[in-house]
Amino acid sequence: MSGTLVLVDAPNFAFRAFHALPRFTSPSGEPTGAVFGFATMLQRLVRELKPTHLAVVFDPPGRTFRDDLYGEYKATRAETPPDLVSQFGPIREVVQAFRAPLVEAPGFEADDAIGTLARMGEAAGMQVWIATGDKDLCQVVTDRVKIVDTMKDRVSGPREVEEKFGVPPRQVVDVLALMGDSVDNVPGVPGVGEKTATALVQKAGSVEALLEAPDLAGRPKIAQALRDHAADARLSKVLVTIRYDVPVGPLEDLRVRPVDTAALRALYTRCGFTRLLKELPAEEVPAAKTESRVVDTLEGVAALAAALRQAGRFAFAILGTSREGMRAGIVGIAAAWEKGAGVYVPLGHSPMLAPRQPAREAALELLRPVFEDPAVTKTAHDAKFELLVLLRHGIRVAGLDCDPMLAAYVLDPAKPNDLESLAIEHLGVRPASVADLAGRGRAAVSFEAIDPAGTAPHACETAGAAAALAGVLLPKLAPEGLDGLFRDVEMPLLGVLVRMESAGIGVDVEGLRALGAEFDRRLTGLRDAIYEAAGETFNIDSTRQLQRILFEKLGLTPGRKTKTGFSTDAAVLESLAAEHPVPARIVAFRALAKLKSTYVDALPAAVNPQTGRIHTTFSQAVAATGRLSSNDPNLQNIPVRTEEGRRIRRAFLAAPGCRFVSADYSQIELRLLAHVSGDPALVDAYRTGSDVHARTAAEVFGVPEDRVTDEQRRQAKVVNFGVIYGMSAHGLAQQLRVPRDTAALWIEAYFRRYAGVRAFLDRTLEDTRRTGFVRTLLGRRRPLPDINAPDGNLRNAAERMAVNAPVQGSAADLIKVAMIRIDRALAQGGFRSRMLLQVHDELLFEVPEGEESRLTELAVREMEGAIQLSVPLKVEVSAGARWGEMT
């Protein structure tokens, strides 16, 4: 049998992807990093190796023969992180969608099944590829069996294995046996590391030969260790030897079958894997058909404006020089008001391609009245971009009635809401994409470099699809109780965000450069101090080198284990700080380096050269909770609790003659919890202005409220907020570094004090299990499809989200309403003050001299009155010339 057999070590890749990739989450908030890494790897293997046979091998549940042989086998391994366990189900879905056989061999590990299948494939004359990063499988390598590691772009045949271990593949098992394995708790021989083990095997040839003549070691200490631990060495060799006699099915069962593209598309959509979705073959969906007409004279533009006014309603789309609203120039505008037809006005194409175009300013002046007329209703998909571009060109759009992206987001925040996905789902057509028109990657061209005859169909299809989607989506809102949320919150907020993005915020570029130079000096000092304390130089960013320094050279107490060794994450390093200065310095080095790269270096580059200010983009239709997010750059995550973070915030400065005013909701989520739960004690605490955290501390610690210490109050604060996020006793214990039993008693005491909260949480879970979704105070829905999942980890994650979503989502709704009220009041009051940023529960304003007291009064009034609750809302105000110097 000829052909190519690919064997995938599923546990290895899942574990490595989980630790190597950022913490991706799906639109519904579920962790998906390992799923993404695994799917990417499998897609790449199939594409590049073109296997005729394929198997994805998992570890089976239950004990293996190694556990029976050695009771301590893998006994020191930490439990698999819950966020990884919850991803095994979707990973199996990926395998099933690829229609790849899923192999498990009860009583054996995945490595044994892989080794057996590899030998079977080799015997059948096949080229065998083992996809793994596990060193144990190097013993299986032959001329026909090779290892491919897609995460490191590395292929290992016999030569590469010998270069790595110093011995040919057949002797790798002897090296592994002698050196042992701390991750799997294979004992090995004390004092024998990888280099020594290699030298010993090179001399003796095998573990057995070495144990018969231990003096071959050449070092008395090692020879004695071999004599004293001969039984451990023999046991270790059995433990690390891969079996080739595992009962697995015939190779014929592993033939590659066509991928279930529909299943992959559904899974990738659920997980939010936009990039992988684009790599899938196109669905058999008919292309959208819109007749397009190019208007290239001012007379034609005037006639278009008259036709739009007469129609009373139209959809529009703008082609820009970029997708950055504050930088994009207008290449062309499309409008559609009749089904299947649209008009395109070219305004910024290359003169060589379009010598006949209306003068841009004159054309925009002709279109301005109809765009600014509120009686002419308008539709645009992802309208914030269009509105921002037009605002920069002097047109203030009025009468925007629908953004299909926002309508789709309100109906189901977990689904994709890009135009193409919505058109396929709701219209059954595929509009031409930007990539179809302009190309992809380096080959892509800008719109202005395309003839108007080429851009017109795309632009008109975009406008036409937006109009058609509005007709489909708007009628669905009211039956679901979502019409008010869409019309009274999300659509009005869109205009508020346009004005905020347009305003931008000032930044002290020279101050940031000076801060960057200071951080560079501090990083150099920290690096030198780390090298001095470690006794050698090494790559601080290399996990493997850091593991060697901390746990081998310095002999520090290791924490939890990963597939590649002991963890060196922040929590582990902080726990080791008391043992040696190196871990604490590395924590400080990492934190400072991240601040410098993420903010100090990046913020000056984000300054708009035309305005001299930074203009973030607020994403309105991304977070499943309803919260806004900030990107390019992200101004919501600038740290505030550290001195370095505060210094970065101090780089943001108000315009000359202005000051910043910050209005921040106080304990908004706890106040909302009091309202939705109706708990008498919690409601009373806020109505009487009591210190809620002190009250909780008094109950938890059994002391009078006036005797509560600062530390007890701090711990009670964690308990109060932890309840909102569904924190378990284990999670609370980890965060407060107390025994789990203690944390459980504190949670029990909390619910004894606030029994109404417990009843609310139970009621919420019961309702969610019945309906499959939760709602906020304003009716926003968050679907939780895994609330009744058989997989306990998926179900637990969904339950945590069910508990949190009504409160966090209501907080998001509340501040959106407040923003709309304030924006309206600023306009009605003739204020020159501008709302600049929304950062979680805080709003930041830039206020001219003479308006500060009025603005403060307005902001507090509108925020505290945004939604009427059973408890009072409280807003705290501070002001200053720089964001980081507010008092």
Q: Which residues contact 1 (CB under 8 A, 6 or more apart)?
A: 124, 125, 126, 251
DSSP secondary structure letters along 43-54: HHHHHHH--SEE
> Tokens 């407040």 label which residue?
818
pLDDT value, residue 553: 87
- Tokens for 776? 């906020």
Centre a 10 Å sphere on the Cβ of residue 213 and count the other Cβ atoms it contains: 12
Separation CA 763–CA 570 (nearest Å): 37
SS3 per-residue string spanning 203-231: HHCCHHHHHHCHHHHCCHHHHHHHHHCHH
Q: Is residue 215 part of a domain?
A: no
Range of the domain at 121: 4-157+239-254
Residues 365 and 429 occupy one common structural domain: yes
SS3 per-residue string spanning 468-499: HHHHHHHHHHHHHCCHHHHHHHHHHHHHHHHH
User: What is the number of domains present in the chain?
Assistant: 3
Amino acid letter, residue 782: R
Separation CA 848–CA 854 (nearest Å): 11
Q: Is residue 841 part of a domain?
A: no
Distances, alpha carbon 877 to alpha carbons 811, 852, 880, in Å: 18, 11, 11
Q: Is residue 697 part of a domain?
A: no
Residues 297 and 397 occupy one common structural domain: yes
Separation CA 735–CA 311 (nearest Å): 61
Q: Considering only CA atoms, which of 195, 211, 136, 194 is closest in space to residue 169? A: 136
pLDDT value, residue 280: 79
- Tokens for 754? 């606030």
Q: Are the C-beta atoms of residues 210 and 184 closer than 8 Å to each other?
A: no
Distances, alpha carbon 534 to alpha carbons 191, 521, 568, 576, 588, in Å: 21, 20, 15, 14, 15
Residues 408 and 545 occupy one common structural domain: no
Centre a 10 Å sphere on the Cβ of residue 687 and count the other Cβ atoms it contains: 12
Q: Is residue 189 part of a domain?
A: no
Separation CA 198–CA 163 (nearest Å): 11
> Tokens 């060799």 label which residue?
237
Q: Considering only CA atoms, which of 12, 6, 31 is closest in space to residue 798? A: 31
Separation CA 455–CA 478 (nearest Å): 36
Residues 333 and 407 occupy one common structural domain: yes
- The three-class DSSP label of residue 335 is strand
Residues 388 and 520 occupy one common structural domain: no
CATH number, domain containing residue 522: 1.20.1060.10
Distances, alpha carbon 302 to alpha carbons 222, 351, 354, 362, 369, in Å: 93, 22, 20, 10, 11
Q: Considering only CA atoms, which of 383, 441, 444 is closest in space to residue 408? A: 383
Residues 379 and 522 occupy one common structural domain: no
pLDDT value, residue 285: 57
CATH number, domain containing residue 458: 3.30.420.10
Residues 512 and 599 occupy one common structural domain: yes
What value, to the nearest 5°, has the Cα angle with vertex 622 and ends 620 and 626?
65
Residues 466 and 515 occupy one common structural domain: no
Q: Which residues contact 606 (CB under 8 A, 6 or more apart)?
A: 614, 632, 633
Separation CA 156–CA 146 (nearest Å): 6
| pLDDT tens-digit map of 221-249 | 888 888 888 888 898 888 889 998 888 88
Q: Which of 547, 578, 606 is the last residue of a domain?
A: 606
Strands lying side by side in the sheet with 102-103: 102-103, 53-57, 4-9, 127-131, 145-149, 154-156
Separation CA 583–CA 579 (nearest Å): 9
- Tokens for 252? 């014929």
Q: Is residue 862 part of a domain?
A: no
For the question of whether the overall pTM of this predicted structure is more than 0.85, the answer is: no
The alpha carbon dihedral of 479, 484, 489, 495 has a sign of positive
Q: Is 435 left (phi over 0), alpha (psi -120 to 50) or beta?
A: alpha
Separation CA 164–CA 161 (nearest Å): 5
Q: Which of 577, 606, 635 is the last residue of a domain?
A: 606
Residues 473 and 580 occupy one common structural domain: no
Separation CA 2–CA 474 (nearest Å): 58
Q: Which of 432, 463, 480 is the last residue of a domain?
A: 480
Q: Which residues contact 525 (CB under 8 A, 6 or more apart)?
A: none
Q: Is residue 645 part of a domain?
A: no
| pLDDT tens-digit map of 126-138 | 999 999 988 899 9
- The three-class DSSP label of residue 140 is helix
pLDDT value, residue 57: 93
pLDDT averaged over 10-residue windows placed end to end, the chain, 887 residues? 86 86 76 90 88 91 84 75 86 91 90 93 90 91 91 86 89 90 83 87 86 83 86 89 88 86 88 83 64 95 98 97 91 94 95 92 98 98 97 97 97 88 86 72 74 92 95 96 98 98 97 95 94 90 85 80 68 83 91 90 94 95 91 88 90 97 96 96 94 90 90 92 84 86 90 93 94 95 85 80 93 98 97 97 97 98 97 97 91
Contacts 24+ apart (CB under 8 A), 783-786: 783/28, 783/412, 783/413, 783/414, 784/28, 785/28, 786/30
Residues 518 and 475 occupy one common structural domain: no
Separation CA 281–CA 288 (nearest Å): 18
Q: Is residue 38 part of a domain?
A: yes
Separation CA 648–CA 883 (nearest Å): 9
CATH number, domain containing residue 144: 3.40.50.1010
The alpha carbon dihedral of 188, 190, 195, 200 has a sign of negative
Q: Is residue 407 part of a domain?
A: yes
- The three-class DSSP label of residue 718 is helix
Residues 342 and 460 occupy one common structural domain: yes
Separation CA 746–CA 646 (nearest Å): 33
Separation CA 560–CA 76 (nearest Å): 9
Residues 39 and 101 occupy one common structural domain: yes
Cβ burial 651-676 (10 Å sphere, 16+ → b, else e) = bbbbbeebbbbbbbbebbbbbbbbbb
pLDDT value, residue 79: 74
> Tokens 């493997």 label which residue?
544
